[in-house]
Amino acid sequence: MTEPKECSLRKLIDTVKNSVESHFCFILGAGASVSSGIDSGGTMAQTWLDELRDIDPEETTKWINENLDKNKDIASFYSDLYTRRFNLNPIQGYIWLQDKVNNAFPSLGYYHLASILANVQRINLVITTNFDSLTEDSLFIYTNKKPLVIAHEGLAKYVTFSEHRPIIAKIHRDLLLQPFSAIEETKKIADAWEPVLKKALDRYIPIVVGYGGNDGSLMGLLKAIFKESKEKQLYWCYRRGYPPKEGVKELLNQCKGFLVPINDFDELMYLFGTKFNQSFNKKDLNNKINSWIERYEEQIGKMKGHLEKKPVDSRLPEEKEILRVILMSQSKKLRELTNKITKNPKSAQLFYKRGNYYSSIKKHKEAVSDFTEAIKLDSYNTDYYDKRGSSYTWLGEWEKAVSDFTKAIKLDPTNAEYYEYRGSVYNNFYDCKKAVDDFTKAIEFDFDNVGYYYNNLGLVYSHHKKYRKAVSDFTKAIKLSSANADHYSNRGVAHTWLGEWEKAVDDFTETIKLSSVNADHYSNRGVAHTWLEWEKAVDDFTKAIKLDPTNARHYSNRGAVYNHFDEWERAIDDFTKAIKLDPKKDRYYTGLAVALYKVGKNIDEVNITLEKSLSLDSESPFYYLCRGYIDLKIAKKNKTACNKEVLQNINKGIALINKKHVSCSREVYYIHRAEYHLYVGEPDKAYKDIQRSLHINDLYGRAWYYLAKYYETISDTANYELCINKSKDLRFTPNTDD
């Protein structure tokens, strides 16, 4: 027989990477699961053979001589031996397999496989004879993408080959659905799978890993498919030193097939992951795990805080039980640690452990005390300074935190995390240069997590309003780690601040593809859409509300859009809901006050609502801006003189926004002031404010309308017509009070 052509692993990966118009899928067999703690098919077969020999040596020997070809390896008889071992009690076979698989945990290769399936749209399908859950577990653990898992042939009709979701086709069923292992079950593919897999392999080029071709089901289908079309490509990976069987070689010879020698599944997927910028990222994984822990601890803390506030007599029996369990759990852990310290008061590690526990339950003063004791007993352990610095950070004692991280750096000057933590603290108290220096150092010492640190550098620049530099660093982070939704989201926020709405929308859209259940991503895109297509902004805020219906900010954002586009009744509904959810936000009351005024509510009701914002914040910029705006509108409506207090309020509002670095639509407030200047006969001052507004956002229709009003004032008909048409193009329709 002619030997099939060979292709190096490096050449295969390069081909897949550069064949940007082609779709690829992985066909996985039992060999892909070995390093995750699951025996190979051959090992299982040998175990069953040994058990059969123990049960009935003579009968088993006779059966072997009659049925097994000694020239073939034991894996070839997997189904024969499974059937022989469990033919009297198939349920026992299922239980045996479940016991073997239960303790498996995805190996490194599955981390990279999951990253590729989730983030490389043209490689999003796995076809497998395995009934373990390693692939889907990896997607759940390591990514934000939920796969479509077809675990039974009865569900095969639901497969749609969309690029937006990973697909796992388990042709021998799932472990918990009576998986196929017996001879009759594996000699032919289930009828429901045939058309689905033919369609799949017409679309995808398969890469086979860890599959020996020992069953008649998948192997039979592959032979049929590739016999029909000799031009189809197929890559068959095999372990060095274990050449594939003759049947595999025959299959490869009848199509454009290649043998690819590899060392093992993990090494193969590691190289694939590296090539597709899906390298193992310890930082991202730690952050994800820590976010879960923090979320649950926060929920426990909220439950505890809520129940402690309730009068004892009004607590329900189950509430008393919850509080008792939480307090008992905390006190038990502390009691155990304290008893150990009492017995061994010179143990720095015990003080450190108790400090860590205090830190986990947000008792940072107590944590600082214990970390200090640990340092007194062992002043050379960097972990103690690191943890105390973190607790000082939580307490807002920035200088002490910096001091501790600096001591940790002196003791371990190549530890990137200490530079990261100190850089974060510098960022918190506005020392941009030192923060940048520290994150740059972190990059120098931790090359595996460069994308993470570039993202942090971008956050520093964003914090200090250097958005162009922020965009540059977020872009570097994305190139290094294109699967991280936060990187796109952060760049989208920077684009938003720069008024680059289309780019912001593109970034938030990519963010949503990677993390579609985070309400904030829709809310952020809604903000950008506000200046492009307000209907889409409303849709985004509505999606955010559905995902997170108790978040007042989403209602407020949608209410602000309704205010901008004169949907006053809807704005009133949204601001009312926002206030109900969070009654301590000044801007919710000012948004409501504007809408109430616009629908003609009694001015006393408007003023009461507006004054509420001032009672919450005596320096509320939104109060002064809205106070000036409403008083201006009243003067225009009544055609009365506009006093200087209107201008003073608008000026104070703009000054407070700049002083407090408030996130808001500054272009709107410059137009308020321009409107005042036009009304009192100061067109030159109005022109300057209109230009300021357009400099911030040249897609703001009201600004173009008031620029037209300016040209009308100075009798410039040509420019008036130009600007009016521009405002209409931007779908702005003036109100009667404009």
The pLDDT value recorded for residue 664 is 65
Identify whether residues 622 and 599 lie together within a single domain: yes
Residue 734 within a domain: no
Residue 735 within a domain: no
Residue 706 CA to chain centroid, in angstroms?
42
In this predicted model, which residue has the larger pLDDT, 182 or 239? Answer: 239
The pLDDT value recorded for residue 136 is 92
Average pLDDT taken over every residue of the chain:
88
Residue 95 within a domain: yes
| Domain span at 675 | 575-729
pTM for the full predicted model: 0.64
Give the pLDDT band (50/70/90) at residue 289.
confident
The pLDDT value recorded for residue 662 is 64
With tokens 């022109």, the residue in question is 687
Question: What CATH number does the domain containing 163 carry?
Answer: 3.40.50.1220
Six-digit token pair at 323? 């509080």
Residue 325 within a domain: yes
Residue 699 within a domain: yes
| Residue closest to 94 by CA, chosen among 35, 174, 30 | 174
pLDDT tens readout for residues 485-510: 899 999 999 998 888 889 999 999 99
Identify whether residues 499 and 593 lie together within a single domain: no
The pLDDT value recorded for residue 661 is 64
Of 328, 343, 358, which residue is a domain's last?
343
The pLDDT value recorded for residue 163 is 64
Across the beta sheet with 148-150, the strand order is 5-6, 256-262, 233-239, 204-209, 23-28, 125-128, 167-170, 148-150
The pLDDT value recorded for residue 553 is 93
Six-digit token pair at 304? 């505890």
Identify whether residues 276 and 294 lie together within a single domain: no
Identify whether residues 591 and 701 lie together within a single domain: yes
Identify whether residues 353 and 491 lie together within a single domain: yes
pLDDT tens readout for residues 629-685: 888 888 888 888 888 888 898 888 888 887 766 666 778 888 889 988 998 899 999
Identify whether residues 90 and 127 lie together within a single domain: no
Split into its structural domains, the chain has a count of 5
Give the pLDDT band (50/70/90) at residue 540.
very high
Identify whether residues 597 and 614 lie together within a single domain: yes
Identify whether residues 525 and 535 lie together within a single domain: yes
Identify whether residues 384 and 467 lie together within a single domain: yes
Q: What percent of the chain has pLDDT over 70?
A: 99
Q: What's the mean pLDDT in 302-325?
A: 81
Start-end of H helices in 56-192: 57-67, 78-86, 90-101, 108-119, 134-142, 183-186
Identify whether residues 241 and 256 lie together within a single domain: yes
Give the pLDDT band (50/70/90) at residue 371.
very high
The pLDDT value recorded for residue 440 is 92
Q: What's the mean pLDDT in 216-231?
A: 83
The pLDDT value recorded for residue 367 is 93
Question: What CATH number does the domain containing 374 carry?
Answer: 1.25.40.10
Give the pLDDT band (50/70/90) at residue 459.
very high
Looking at residue 474, its amino acid is: F
The pLDDT value recorded for residue 370 is 93
Residue 402 within a domain: yes
Identify whether residues 520 and 374 lie together within a single domain: yes
Q: Strand, helix or coil at 234? A: strand
Looking at residue 716, its amino acid is: D
pLDDT tens readout for residues 33-78: 989 988 888 888 888 888 888 888 888 888 888 777 777 778 778 8
Residue 737 within a domain: no
Residue 620 within a domain: yes
Identify whether residues 589 and 703 lie together within a single domain: yes
Contact between residue 438 and residue 447 where contact means Cβ atoms under 8 Å apart: no
Instruction: Give the Cα separation of 597 and 605 in Å (integer).
Output: 9
Of 514, 534, 568, which residue is a domain's last?
568
Of 500, 533, 568, which residue is a domain's last?
568
Strands 204-209 and 148-150: unpaired
Give the pLDDT band (50/70/90) at residue 383.
very high
The pLDDT value recorded for residue 451 is 86
